[in-house]
Amino acid sequence: MKRSAFAMPTGIYLDGNSLGVMPHAAQARVQGRLDQWRRQAALGWDDWFHLAEALSPSIARLVGALPGEVIATGSITANLHALLSTLYRPEGTRRVIVATALDFPTDLYALQAWAERGGGTLRLVPSRDGQTLHQGDLHAALEPDVALALFPTVLYRSGQRLDVAGLTAAGHAAGALVGWDAAHSIGAMPHDFHAVGADFAVWCHYKYVNAGPGAPGGLYLHERWHDRAPGLYLHERWHDRAPGLPGRACHDKGNQFEMTPVYRKATGAGAYQMGTPSILALAALEGALSVFDGLELNEVRTRSLALTDHLIALADRHLPEMTVVTPRPHAERGGHVSLLHPQARSLSAALRALGVVPDYREPDILRLAPVALYTTEGEVAEVVRLLRTLLDSGQHLRQGAADGPVT
């Protein structure tokens, strides 16, 4: 769709669900900010001071939110801690936090810490097959003792997509707050967090948004939590929450430099930042977001589904030894395809030696992400052909090459 907008690496790149490739615009924006720093030094803050907030409208479009409900800041884990410190309010018997056994582990680390701090427990919804989650099990976990639930929009291992609207409504009906980790969906499909009433969400910008390694993360907080407003509260006990982890960047920018010892909350999601943002990192995000200008997210999703359909069909036909664990229905599929095979690690390493960059997950999952913005059908077919060749020859078993880190 926009392949020319990217500096494509040599070979075939199918690891955009871990780290997206570099947009030319990201490189240009970083260079521009470097030049500005060189010319202006501290005077550059006249322009940089509101940069994170200036990016909010573009980010809000990607997650289906109001501009004031999102901010580029921190990382997934830091933002999750900031939001949990604000929203998790255990009371009486309502102390449980719900997540799933297939969540990204670092989310669980943060959830466990806050559950223990609040005298509660972390309830993990189990998987029946070790790869995917059953809708009924997710709903059944939302019992009256649940204070808060966090779910992934798309499971990182299998690529299963969860029902954001349905689970958010079910959680609210049970009196719980519901949040989402959108790391494996933002930039690959439309979202509607505000419309469905999701309470909060976190994500990174370095996967399908292509903002670079260690790019600033993002957070969303529904407007009902920002300031008291009639008609926004589903339960009387819900009310606006002051940031649980206040810091320099979450102070009202109108008087931040008065250095008053009294905290004055910033407006909207900007109040849930903490430290001073990295301007160079925000510059790369500026450029990455510009690639989405003029793109309809429904078109991105249609292209993504066509590529993963193509990959699944080819795997079914040519790779019978490998099991596609990603759900087939479009409504239940994210942007990548996961193939199960006992030699997945060595197959991943052998593909890298052949100029293909896939992704491996312990102990037996090969993840392939044909990204809508830059992957071609021909590249998908070539990777399946190479996998068939490796399986036939056994070359992957002889190489013993090490795979790279996973994210």
Active site residues: 104, 181, 206-207, 367
Q: For residue 10, with 0-12 CB atoms within 10 Å meaning exposed, 13-18 middle and 19 or more buried, which class applies?
A: exposed
Terminal-to-terminal C-alpha distance of the chain: 25
State residue 216 phi and psi, 5-degree precision. Answer: -55, 140
Calpha distance 319→323 (Å, rounded):
8
Calpha distance 288→328 (Å, rounded):
30
Q: Closest Cα partner for 359 from 18, 1, 3?
A: 18
Return the structure tokens found at 144: 């009256």
Calpha distance 117→255 (Å, rounded):
34
- Separation in Å, CA 61 to CA 95, 124, 180, 266, 294: 34, 31, 16, 22, 11
* Cα 9 off chain centre by: 23
Q: Is 204 left (phi over 0), alpha (psi -120 to 50) or beta?
A: beta
Say how many CA atoms lie within 13 Å of 284 toward its Cβ.
21
